[in-house]
């Protein structure tokens, strides 16, 4: 009987020792040297894993930062505050980071629906069935994929089914711009106030028939622009934000009201706040 007890103890103990040695060897070979700096940076980052920095997530950005491969001002959600903190830790200088917001380039108010869609409430799913819900092929489908994907809950859907960006919450991470299957959303600097609220590349007549607020490519905005920042490409006015001074002259000139001026909206909000 005592033989059984001893054998059991020796057998199990022996196995334990063998496995322990095996694991110790494996650990020596496979050890991950984690930089404490990486950990420190990771704790500072917002942890939304939005990918605005262009890396695979906060952990990847922290690693790249610690290795000094990337600048410290890439984190859009963290903003200027975070980049200065990061700069302190890393002992580097950062350039000022300008704020930015997501901008919706569609304003299909009073546009007619060409189909009555009752399928899965998701823009990508709807696109599997048909290429449009409204008459305009380029119009926002209004099923709110961007609002659901937004990691900061900065998008709400209006009663007409258009995404509204809540700029106080928007961190310009660009997730909405990436998930939108119609490519209606883009991220623009907060110093730009004037935006084309249409992305129809239909000819003027067709665009106008489909939507009262469409860009009909008349070119009046391009003519009045004092700095030649607007160009008509594929029947759509495009603003060159490098040149645009946000004077807002084109806004009044547009016959269909397809150009939006965000200056007043932002000023109003600033005064309320």
Partner 1 sequence: MQEYTVDMGSFFAILISMVFVSNFVLARFLGLCPFIGVTKRTDSAFGMGMAVTFVMTLASAVTWLIHRYVLLAHSVTGANIFVRFIGPETSLEPVLRTISYILVIATLVQLVEMFLKKSVPALYQSLGIFLPLITTNCAVLGVALLNTTATEEVLTFPAAVFQGFCAGLGFLVVMILMSGIRERLEVLDLPEAVKGIPIALVATALMALAFTGFGGLITVP
Residues that bind partner 1 (CB under 8 A): 3-4, 6-8, 10-12, 15-16, 19, 22-23, 26-27, 30-32, 56, 59, 120-122, 125
- Residue 12 DSSP symbol: H
Compare residues 11 and 227 and give the one whose CB is closer to partner 1: 11
172's torsion region: left (phi>0), alpha (psi -120 to 50) or beta? left
Could you tell me the smallest distance in angstroms from the CB atom of residue 124 to partner 1?
A: 8
Could you tell me the smallest distance in angstroms from the CB atom of residue 20 to partner 1?
A: 8
Q: Are residues 86 and 44 in contact, defined by beta-carbon separation less than 8 angstroms?
A: yes
Could you tell me the smallest distance in angstroms from the CB atom of residue 39 to partner 1?
A: 13
Compare residues 49 and 85 and give the one whose CB is closer to partner 1: 49
DSSP bridge partners of 165: 155
β-pair type (230-233, 100-104): unpaired
Evaluate the CA torsion angle 162, 166, 170, 172 in order and state its sign: positive
* Per-residue buried b or exposed e for 105-143, using 16+ beta carbons within 10 Å of the residue's own CB: bbbbeebeeeeebeeeeebeebbeeeebbbbbebbbbbb
DSSP per position, 22-73: HHHHHHHHH-----HHHHHHHHHS------TTSSSSHHHHHHHHHTT-S-TT
Compare residues 7 and 265 and give the one whose CB is closer to partner 1: 7
Could you tell me the smallest distance in angstroms from the CB atom of residue 192 to partner 1?
A: 34
Compare residues 32 and 273 and give the one whose CB is closer to partner 1: 32
Compare residues 3 and 226 and give the one whose CB is closer to partner 1: 3
Cα 136 to chain centroid distance, Å, stands at: 24
Compare residues 15 and 80 and give the one whose CB is closer to partner 1: 15
Compare residues 11 and 265 and give the one whose CB is closer to partner 1: 11
Could you tell me the smallest distance in angstroms from the CB atom of residue 54 to partner 1?
A: 16
% helix / strand / coil in the chain, to the nearest 5?
40, 10, 50
- Dihedral Cα 172, 174, 176, 182, nearest 10 deg: 130
Could you tell me the smallest distance in angstroms from the CB atom of residue 76 to partner 1?
A: 22
Could you tell me the smallest distance in angstroms from the CB atom of residue 89 to partner 1?
A: 22
């Amino acid at each position: 009987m005592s033989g059984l007890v001893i054998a059991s103890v020796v057998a199990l103990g022996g196995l334990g020792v063998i496995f322990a040695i095996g694991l110790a060897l494996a650990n020596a070979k496979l050890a991950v040297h984690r930089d404490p700096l990486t950990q420190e940076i990771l704790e500072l980052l917002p942890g939304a894993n939005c990918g605005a920095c262009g890396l695979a997530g906060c952990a990847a950005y922290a690693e790249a930062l610690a290795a000094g491969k990337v600048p410290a001002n890439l984190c859009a959600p963290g903003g200027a505050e975070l980049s200065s903190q990061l700069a302190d830790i890393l002992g580097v200088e950062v350039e000022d980071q300008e704020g930015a917001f997501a901008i919706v380039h569609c304003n299909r108010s009073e546009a007619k629906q060409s189909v009555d869609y009752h399928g899965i409430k998701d823009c990508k799913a709807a696109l599997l069935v048909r290429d449009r819900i409204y008459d305009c092929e380029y119009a926002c489908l209004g099923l709110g994929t961007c609002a659901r994907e937004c990691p900061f809950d900065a998008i709400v859907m209006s009663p007409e089914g258009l995404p509204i960006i809540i700029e106080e919450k928007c961190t310009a991470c660009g997730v909405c711009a990436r998930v939108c299957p119609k490519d209606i959303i883009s991220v623009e600097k907060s110093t730009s106030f004037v935006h084309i609220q249409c992305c129809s590349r239909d000819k003027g007549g067709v665009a106008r028939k489909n939507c009262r607020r469409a860009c009909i490519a008349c070119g009046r905005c391009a003519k009045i622009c004092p700095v030649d920042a607007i160009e008509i490409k594929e029947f759509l006015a495009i603003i060159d934000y490098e040149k645009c001074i946000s004077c807002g002259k084109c806004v009044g000139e547009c016959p269909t009201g397809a150009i939006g001026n965000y200056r007043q909206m932002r000023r109003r909000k600033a005064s309320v706040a």
